[in-house]
Amino acid sequence: MYRVERVEKQNAEILNQINLLDKDLENCVQKVGIYRYSAFQDTGSDLSFTLALLDEHDNGVIFNGIYSREMSNIYAKPIEGGKSKYTLSEEEKIAIDRAIKSYKKER
């Protein structure tokens, strides 16, 4: 009887740890979307990009790297619930949409 109680207690502890890990994972990057494009007509090869990194709740950040022959700039915007309080470009919206669609929760 003691062995059964010990195994039941261990199982309960394992299940508790799994639940804690699941909760932690909700806030980890789970969704990634990238979209490459040409920001200016005089540059080819789609050297500009947007990269969305989102957690399970569609919170995270989007990076927008804009390349031109004279310079390159990278911008970041916070994302909450798949949206930003800052205006999003069409390219940024595409990257966010790709990130959200890339996620397959199998639970």
pLDDT tens-digit series, residues 64-74: 999 888 889 99
Which pTM value belongs to this model? 0.81
74, 64 Cβ separation under 8 angstroms? yes
**Element counts in the chain: helices (H) and strands (E):** 2, 4
pLDDT for 66: 93
The distance of Cα 70 from the centroid of its chain, to the nearest Å, equals 31
- Cα–Cα distance list, 23 to 19, 63, 70, 87, 93 (Å): 6, 26, 45, 31, 27
Where do the domains of the chain lie?
29-102
d(CA 38, CA 44): 6
d(CA 66, CA 41): 13
Residue 43 binned pLDDT confidence (cut-offs 50, 70, 90): low
d(CA 16, CA 58): 25
